[in-house]
Amino acid sequence: MKAIILCAGKGERLRPITEAIPKPMIPINNKPVLEYLVLLCRKHNITEIAINTSYLPEKIKSYFGDGSKFGVKINYSFEQNLLGTSGALNNFRDFFKEPFFVIYGDNITDLNLTKMLKFHKEKKGKGTLYLYREKITDKKTGAGYVTINKNNQIEAIVEKPKEEELEKLNQIFSEKKFFNAGVYILEPEVLKIIPEGFSDFAKDIFPKVLMSDNLYGYKENCYFKEVGQFIRYQKAKEEVESGKIKFDFI
């Protein structure tokens, strides 16, 4: 099994921490966030990992090397100009020949990837997105809203809505507050509709898939934090370093 962990972002919302290190290398309990994701993949027998880089790539490559000391094999790409969440896969077209995971590098989670893969195979869609619930306590959110039907089939995705759209969306999603977590399983056919250059999964690719094929939402009660914002990073750091949250793959 293979995965790509997206690691090219600059992490501007985490400055000044990310002035000297790329976002996936921010530490929690003396380990970079990316290490948690690599070890999670290894636990679930995902041993071939692609990592795209752009900002301070040497910091990632010098720490992880070829992946052997973590029990995996790592292949790297470098983006002179950012290619986006889906555009990043253009550098790995020959790498993915079977269903594969896409994991955003600013997540920390103990999501059961094995169960998610089983769900994906049973549904036989072109992709499966891990969805989570979250109570919105302010007027801003960086997450994408997702609606699903009773069969867990995705009906619509609204990615990073503007502040003026949130009140209306919160009413529509009052019973369906699911959010795009940035963990996907995709069939290799999806690569065919990714254009050259910059593109984003939620904005550019998933709407195209939904026009002719099915995407499904996978739900699981697990630990999940997106740590690309300072408040979320601090919360995850406190929970893990205090021992409140423990991972069995570390």
Q: Quote the mean pLDDT of the chain.
A: 91
User: According to the model, what pLDDT value does residue 156 have?
Assistant: 83
**pLDDT at 145 (0 to 100):** 77
What torsion do the CA atoms of 55, 57, 63, 65 make, to the nearest 10 degrees? 150
Q: Cα–Cα distances in Å, from 77 out to 92, 142, 198?
A: 8, 26, 15
Alpha-helical regions (H) of 186-228 = 206-212
State both tokens at 204: 């550019």
Q: Which residues contact 53 (CB under 8 A, 6 or more apart)?
A: 7, 8, 22, 60, 61, 76, 77, 78, 79
Name the residue with higher pLDDT: 167 or 224: 224
More confident residue, 60 or 146: 60
> What local confidence, expressed as pLDDT, does residue 162 receive?
60
pLDDT of amino acid 216? 97
Is pLDDT at 226 greater than 50 in this prediction? yes
pLDDT at 164 over 70: no
With a CB cutoff of 8 Å and minimum separation 6, the contacts of 34 are 5, 7, 24, 25, 51, 60, 64, 105
Whether the predicted pLDDT of 239 surpasses 50: yes
Please state the rounded mean pLDDT for residues 108-117: 98
> What pLDDT does 192 receive?
96
Tell me the per-residue pLDDT of 121-159, one tens digit each, with 9 for 90 and over.
999 999 999 998 765 544 445 567 788 888 999 988 876
| Residue 171 CA neighbour count, 13 Å, CB half | 4
Specify the pairing of strand 48-53 against strand 73-78: parallel
pLDDT at 165 over 90: no
| Mean pLDDT, residues 80-93 | 97
Which one of 3.90.550.10, 3.30.413.10, 3.40.640.10, 1.10.3720.10 gives the CATH number of domain 2-129+182-195+215-241?
A: 3.90.550.10
Do the Cβ atoms of 154 and 146 come closer than 8 Å? yes
pLDDT tens, 4-39? 999 998 898 999 999 999 999 999 999 999 999 999
68: left (phi over 0), alpha (psi -120 to 50) or beta: alpha
Domain segments of the chain as ranges:
2-129+182-195+215-241
DSSP letter at 203? Answer: I
- Pick the range with the lowest mean pLDDT from 10-14, 70-74, 122-126, 161-165: 161-165
Dist. CA 148–CA 162, nearest whole Å:
21
- At residue 132, the pLDDT reads 87
CB atoms within 10 A of CB 182: 23
